[in-house]
Chain A
Amino acid sequence: MDNSAPDSLSRSETAVTYDSPYPLYAMAFSSLRSSSGHRIAVGSFLEDYNNRIDILSFDSDSMTVKPLPNLSFEHPYPPTKLMFSPPSLRRPSSGDLLASSGDFLRLWEINEDSSTVEPISVLNNSKTSEFCAPLTSFDWNDVEPKRLGTCSIDTTCTIWDIEKSVVETQLIAHDKEVHDIAWGEARVFASVSADGSVRIFDLRDKEHSTIIYESPQPDTPLLRLAWNKQDLRYMATILMDSNKVVILDIRSPTMPVAELERHQASVNAIAWAPQSCKHICSGGDDTQALIWELPTVAGPNGIDPMSVYSAGSEINQLQWSSSQPDWIGIAFANKMQLLRV
């Protein structure tokens, strides 16, 4: 009894917190290590044209996060997603590439040596307009890193060749807005939509897609999708206004292999462990981040998480660092917090 209080105190102190001047949503871990530590990009969430992306430097040895003001830059509208380039992308310069989605797909070069952020490309997929259809999310192909897929409210998914800054292909993917996209392999990706379906696309057969899951209530939107990169058989998705994390097996379409239901409020974010094929982390409105281990056989009472962390507010964003797999990043209110696994 007397011991439990110090435990909880020390547990929250093992987290590294960054307080931002504005609310945060998008977040990305860099796979490169710079001179001052690992980079983290965070995007502001202001319902306005003027938003910012800040680059932070994280030193896991000293457990400190500090912003790099020279690498902070303006971004139109809140970025819906941020990603650093995969390690498989070979580039002549030493800079790190950062992609952001929003009104356009934008590529930025973060060069810490010269303390500059340079816009590389502003990409538009609209044939009839000088404005890109608004993008809800994107995913960077780590097998073929010149390939990047975006999804949009205009029901399309667009595959970009970012070396040539051109559209490689564009598919009318769903009946309604597409909310998230995830690559499985160099030519295979999946997406979720407001039409309530998860669909798989193969770029070798662009005329067809396969519906492997539909939400139980008709037209309940699916909001996020994560593909297990350590075991491509498994995907995870979340539904609107639901506390469930639905685990799918691509070999058994339409029937989820598991439904994780221990959040006490809606789930906002999911991320698979980067170096384990059976672990996934979820964050929700109940202010909790849960780490789950998928068992071989689900028990009769459902699956319990392995461990739990309570933040101070609803967790809106969650990323599991692949370069530092001991660390999970969460965003809530105007804070970004790094949790040690």
Chain B
Amino acid sequence: MGKRATTSVRREELNRGAWTDHEDKILRDYITTHGEGKWSTLPNQAGLKRCGKSCRLRWKNYLRPGIKRGNISSDEEELIIRLHNLLGNRWSLIAGRLPGRTDNEIKNHWNSNLRKRLPKTQTKQPKRIKHSTNNENNVCVIRTKAIRCSKTLLFSDLSLQKKSSTSPLPLKEQEMDQGGSSLMGDLEFDFDRIHSEFHFPDLMDFDGLDCGNVTSLVSSNEILGELVPAQGNLDLNRPFTSCHHRGDDEDWLRDFTC
């Protein structure tokens, strides 16, 4: 009972702030003499008011020989990005490939500087298991660039081609032809798009498609049906009073005004 009180008093006396130069010297000298290990008893034996974990981290990240001080260079950054691309957030494996750097340092540098710099897609996300085989294959869809070919140069033709094309003039004509053709193609496409947006037969296409929003179709038919005489006759059977009609009209218009 009394001992416990003593222990808690000691914990309150432990230093929690930044390490002083004096503390660093004590830790460095002790480890130089006795070697690493036994972190739980080291503070007492070395005369440090620190917990064992704090001593271990101080040594590992700051004091041990070979630690590289100073900013991470752009070459190191590039290598970190390459390694992260392969290993993800396995910082100790990445640090093992950069002499003098600690895993903590690299992790902080990544989270502070590099992650924002990269596009989001490059950051590794936790992987969702999906049924589709294509996701597992990581195949990108490739957009092909189509070239109109009007000539095929077979091997026997190559030397003839070279001999006949010493003048620069045909080359420029060919270039203009290609450019003009491409431009005309683009213009045609735009015109077709505009045309198809506003031409009435699109409405007829709708009738032929027989697919899409069924509810809307039914609604349209109901509305269109009012124009059909038979439907008109049905309207006569509905109860129709002028007062009711006017009431409806005014209510609706009041809502419209609001």
Contact = CB atoms under 8 A, between A and B. Distances in A.
Given A170-B139, A172-B144, A210 B149 contact: yes
A14 interface: no
Interface residues of B, number: 26
B188 A166 contact: no
Nearest to B188: A218
B142 A209 contact: no
Given A170-B142, A197-B146, A252 B134 contact: no
Contacts of B130: 130
Interface string A249-263: 011111000000000
Interface residues of A, number: 35
Contact of B146 (A129, A210, A251): A210
A291 to B, nearest CB: 30
Contact of B144 (A125, A166, A209, A212): A209
Interface string B166-185: 00000000000000000000
B129 interface: no
B148 A254 contact: yes
A324 to B, nearest CB: 35
B154 interface: yes
Interface string A188-210: 00000000010101000011111
Interface string B115-149: 00000000000000011111111011111111111
Contact of A167 (B131, B133, B147): B133
A124 interface: yes
Contacts of A211: 146-149
A253 B134 contact: no
B144 A173 contact: yes
A168 B133 CA distance: 11
A127 B145 contact: no
A251 B148 contact: no
Contacts of A173: 144
B209 to A, nearest CB: 13
Nearest to A125: B134
A210 B147 contact: yes
B197 interface: no
B139 A167 contact: yes
Given A130-B131, A165-B133, A166-B136, A209 B152 contact: no
Contacts of A172: 141-144
B146 A171 contact: no
B142 A169 contact: yes
A253 B149 contact: yes
A123 interface: yes
A50 interface: no
B135 A127 contact: yes
Contacts of B152: 250-253
Contacts of A212: 149
A251 B136 CA distance: 40
Nearest to A202: B144
Chain A CB within 10 A, most for which of B141, B152, B189: B141
A253 B147 contact: no
A121 to B, nearest CB: 9
Contacts of A208: 144-147
Nearest to B143: A172
Contacts of B150: 253-254
B192 interface: yes
Chain A CB within 10 A, most for which of B139, B144, B147: B144
Given A127-B135, A170-B139, A208-B147, 16 more contacts: A126-B132, A129-B132, A165-B133, A166-B133, A167-B134, A167-B137, A169-B139, A199-B144, A207-B142, A209-B145, A211-B148, A219-B192, A252-B152, A253-B150, A253-B151, A254-B148
Interface of A: 123-127, 129-130, 156, 165-173, 175, 197, 199, 201, 206-212, 218-219, 250-254
13 contacts: A127-B141, A156-B141, A166-B137, A167-B137, A168-B139, A169-B139, A171-B142, A199-B144, A199-B146, A209-B146, A210-B147, A211-B147, A250-B152
Interface of B: 130-137, 139-152, 154, 188-189, 192
